[in-house]
């Protein structure tokens, strides 16, 4: 009997360590509100910002929605609204606004990757949160090749080159104040936007290349 109790305790400890090592919330949460294509509110009142992806903005400073924003919101709602989800974390668990940063799962569906795979969101690689970088970029390449979702929008290059920051995975116009602060060590030059986007670079929200 004592031997059995020891085995049970060891199993519980092993399971606990597994959960902690994978940064997973063991409990289920229910999504009560879908804010947009990459943000939801839980039944606890907490807001979750999906890690590793960036969906088009529904509300912009200029007014109106970005291309494919409403479609992305609707698809996200279809995947998670009023459903039980599990959260998996990376290095950073919250952003500057206090939102939880997480990879979201509904049963065996990896929601973040699913949104990218169908072109409802772009891969948003932002170190140190790079756990699913390769999977997200693979899904994005497939969506881009098939011109799914937001990749239907055609944008011309307006610069002869662009400056990427290898530390933050952000792409800037050469004239952007942030581009001028990038050290030579972290600087990479791209001849067009798409080459940068394909490997996970995110467009600067200030200069909007």
Catalytic residue numbers?
49, 57, 99
Give the rounded distance of the alpha carbon of 171 from its chain centre: 16
Q: Token pair for residue 181?
A: 């602060």
Query: Any idea which residue has 């942030």 for tokens?
Result: 178
Cis peptide before 28 (omega within 30 of 0): no
Cβ-Cβ contacts under 8 Å for 119 (sequence gap 6 or more)? 68, 143, 144, 146, 147, 148, 149, 150, 151, 152
Give the rounded distance of the alpha carbon of 127 from its chain centre: 11
CA atoms within 13 Å, Cβ hemisphere of 65? 13
Nearest to 110 by CA among 51, 36, 27: 51
Q: Which ranges of 101-132 would DSSP assign to H, the alpha helix?
A: 111-117
Cβ-Cβ contacts under 8 Å for 64 (sequence gap 6 or more)? none
């Amino acid at each position: 009997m004592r031997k059995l109790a020891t085995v049970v305790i060891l199993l519980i400890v092993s399971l606990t360590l597994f959960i902690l090592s994978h940064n997973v919330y063991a409990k289920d949460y229910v999504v009560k509100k879908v804010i947009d294509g990459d943000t939801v509110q839980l039944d606890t009142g907490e807001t979750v910002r999906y890690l590793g992806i960036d969906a088009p903005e529904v509300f912009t400073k200029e007014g109106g929605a970005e291309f494919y924003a409403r479609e992305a919101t609707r698809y996200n709602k279809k995947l998670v609204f009023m459903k039980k989800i599990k959260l998996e974390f990376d290095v950073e668990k919250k952003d500057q606004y206090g939102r939880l940063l997480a990879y979201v799962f509904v049963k065996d569906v990896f929601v973040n990757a699913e949104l990218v795979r169908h072109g409802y969101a772009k891969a948003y690689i932002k170190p140190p949160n790079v756990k699913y970088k390769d999977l997200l970029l693979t899904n994005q390449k497939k969506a881009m090749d098939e011109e799914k979702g937001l990749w239907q929008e055609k944008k011309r290059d307006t610069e002869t080159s662009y400056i990427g920051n290898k530390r933050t995975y952000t792409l800037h116009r050469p004239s952007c104040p942030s581009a001028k602060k990038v050290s030579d060590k972290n600087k990479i030059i791209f001849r067009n936007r798409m080459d940068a986007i394909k490997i996970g670079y995110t467009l600067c929200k200030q200069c909007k290349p």
